[in-house]
Structure 1
């Protein structure tokens, strides 16, 4: 009977552990995919509707950005009106003072 060298045993152990890890990763991937599919299905989203879902999310992103841009323009308009009103009041005050 031939004796196994320590390096042979080490190689077998390493190979066995690597195979177990690959199997675990495959199992984890399968569980994650099933969980995601189940969650999407519970929201009424079919796996086959990926393109439509992507288009919906792109539309929502464009809509959100346009709303944020409108809010920015509204803020700028309000600040401009306040500054214009203040400058107008100062101008009327100067005019009234110089008119006396």
Structure 2
């Protein structure tokens, strides 16, 4: 017994529509859960732009602190190496001067 093509298409379309509906319900549920969690932290739906700006500011601050730490580390290494080179130089000068 062979099913007509129109009937097969209708069944497939119905199955796809049901799957789409279920996915949309899942997405809606997830979005509601995320909004609920954010609201529990005091972040309302209207605060998204401000929240994004806050995170961008925090990222810039973190990067500047990391850069300052890198420069501080490099400066510290430079001071230590310069001190050791000076100590060696004075040691060589003292040995050659005697």
**Which position in structure 1 is the counterpart of 2:55?**
57
Question: Residue deviations 1:45-95, cap 9 Å, x none?
Answer: 111111111111011001100110011011101110110011001100110
Q: Give the TM-score normalised by the residue count of structure 1.
A: 0.90
Tell whether 2:50 aligns with 1:70. no
Could you list the structure 1 runs, at least 4 aligned residues long, displaced by more than 4 angstroms after superposition: none
Task: Please state how far the C-alpha of 1:29 moved relative to its aligned partner.
Answer: 1.5
Q: Give the TM-score normalised by the residue count of structure 2.
A: 0.92
* Gapped regions of structure 1 (runs ≥ 5): none
| Aligned residue pair count | 98
**Which position in structure 2 is the counterpart of 1:46?**
44
What secondary structure does 1:23 align onto? helix
Task: Please state how far the C-alpha of 1:9 moved relative to its aligned partner.
Answer: 2.8
